[in-house]
Amino acid sequence: MGIGRAAAVVQPADPAAAAIVLLNPHITAGSEEMDEQYEGCLSFFDVRGMVPRPLTIRLATTELDGTEVTTMYERGLARRARDRSPRRSAQHRPHAARR
């Protein structure tokens, strides 16, 4: 469509926590320290592999009024937010899962 917009919703592990809405998210920094866990492919359900992700990321998003907000996410939330951030810079893209 040629529209440079993206949105994602991340539900924290705590069921009482509110969902995190990410509008036009992009990663501005990631920690050198990594966490490696199994992840699966949404298109091929039986394809899984160990995927390294930074333990912390700095994510810039846009508020509804157009202002940009930067937030630090750690561990599980960093992993989920990073995975759903479609506008990653090349240096922060995940390594391909090895089968």
Tens of pLDDT, residues 65-98: 999 999 998 887 887 776 656 544 434 333 333 3
pTM (two decimals): 0.65
Amino acid at 59: L
78-87: b or e for each residue (b if 16 or more CB lie within 10 Å)?
Answer: bbbbbebbee
pLDDT at 5 over 90: no
Q: Which two tokens stand for residue 55?
A: 């333990």
**Which neighbouring-strand residues pair with 37?**
51
- Residue 31 pLDDT more than 90? yes
**Segments making up each domain of the chain, as ranges:** 7-92
Tokens of 1: 């469509």
In the numeric block, which tokens belong to residue 40? 């699966």
pLDDT at 84: 59
Look at residue 3 and give its three-state secondary structure.
coil
Report domain 7-92's class: alpha beta
Between CA 91 and CA 23, with CA 5 as vertex, the angle to 5 degrees is 80
Q: Please check the confidence at residue 13 and state whether its pLDDT lies above 80.
A: yes
